């Protein structure tokens, strides 16, 4: 942020110097240009920050607490889209940019990751409802902190953890969100880990059911996955 402020100050000073001895429209033009350049710089800076977080590179001090409000809404599992072939285009795209796996190998990898029978999850206030085979199971959850994990490749991730307040049947004792976001911000999609053993869940790295807003069509989801 210090770098950004310095850039804005330099641009603003330049605008004032250019305006000296010139007509008012020239000053306004220079100021507008400075504002545009500052906005462009801020956009690029933010993009690079988000790219770094998504790839798992960030400082511990950047991680902040979050609430369930960041995941509030109605969410659909994308596993059915893998099963019906809707995501094949995504796996072909990945293979074209990463030679470590073929499209079929990418599909097998994500099949293990996305696999779930919980086709829908809704989150409202402190209540999380799991829809499994058409049956709804709801429980109330409270924030239980976050954990920063370091993976074998050297990149890292953050799990935001919530603990069930009661003992509702069909509802896990713990849920852990991972969405490549490390501070309060509304989530666009998320990977969710759930179970009754908090520590054991932190070891899970191969199975991560993934959810997108239920209002999104399969075309919307494929487009999002191809371009983000």
55: which 2 tokens?
Answer: 């790839």
Residues 44 and 79 in one domain: no
3-state SS, residue 75: strand
Q: What is the DSSP string of 91-124?
A: HHHHHHH-TTS-HHHHHHHHHHHH--SEEEEEEE
Residues 148 and 221 in one domain: yes
Average pLDDT over every residue of 149-161: 90
Question: Does residue 123 carry a pLDDT above 80?
Answer: yes
Rounded to an integer, the average pLDDT of 78-84 is: 98
Helix (H, G, I), strand (E, B) or coil at 185: coil
- Per the model's pLDDT, the better-predicted residue between 69 and 24 turns out to be 69
Confidence at 34, pLDDT banded by 50, 70, 90: very low
| CATH code for the domain in which residue 200 is found | 2.40.128.20
Check whether residue 120 and residue 50 sit in a common domain: no
Same domain? 130 vs 41: no
What pLDDT, on a 0 to 100 scale, did the predictor assign at position 172?
97
Alpha-carbon dihedral sign for residues 57, 62, 68, 71: negative
- Confidence at residue 152, expressed as pLDDT on a 0 to 100 scale: 82
pLDDT at 50: 53
Number of domains composing the chain: 2
The string of pLDDT tens digits covering residues 165-213 is 999 999 999 999 999 999 999 999 999 999 999 999 999 999 999 999 9
57-65 long-range contacts (CB < 8 A, ≥24 apart) are 57/155, 57/156, 58/156, 58/182, 60/148, 62/182, 62/183, 63/146, 63/148, 63/158, 63/182, 63/183, 64/182, 64/183, 64/184, 65/143, 65/145, 65/146, 65/184
Q: Please report whether residue 59 resides in a domain.
A: no
Owning domain of residue 40: 2-54
Mean pLDDT of 145-164: 93
Query: Within this chain, do residues 42 and 88 fall inside the same structural domain, yes or no?
Result: no
């Amino acid at each position: 942020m210090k770098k950004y402020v310095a850039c804005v100050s330099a641009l603003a000073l330049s605008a004032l110097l250019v305006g000296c001895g010139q007509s008012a429209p020239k000053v306004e033009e220079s100021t507008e240009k400075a504002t545009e350049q500052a906005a462009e710089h801020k956009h690029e800076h933010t993009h690079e920050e988000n790219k770094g977080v998504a790839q798992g590179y960030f400082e511990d001090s950047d991680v902040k607490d979050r609430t369930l409000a960041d995941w509030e809404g109605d969410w659909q599992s994308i596993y059915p889209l893998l099963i019906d072939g809707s995501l094949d285009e995504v796996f072909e795209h990945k293979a074209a940019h990463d030679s470590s796996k073929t499209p079929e190998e990418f599909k097998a990898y994500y099949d293990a990751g996305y696999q779930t029978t919980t086709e829908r999850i809704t989150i409202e206030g402190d209540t999380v409802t799991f829809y499994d085979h058409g049956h709804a199971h709801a429980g109330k959850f409270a924030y239980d902190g976050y954990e920063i994990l370091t993976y074998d490749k050297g990149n890292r991730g953050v799990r935001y953890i919530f603990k069930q307040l009661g003992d509702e049947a069909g509802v896990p004792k713990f849920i852990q969100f991972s969405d490549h976001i490390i501070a309060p911000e509304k989530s666009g999609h998320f990977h969710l880990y759930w179970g009754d053993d908090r520590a054991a869940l932190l070891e899970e790295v191969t199975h991560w059911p993934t959810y997108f807003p239920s209002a999104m069509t399969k075309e919307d989801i494929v487009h999002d996955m191809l371009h983000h």
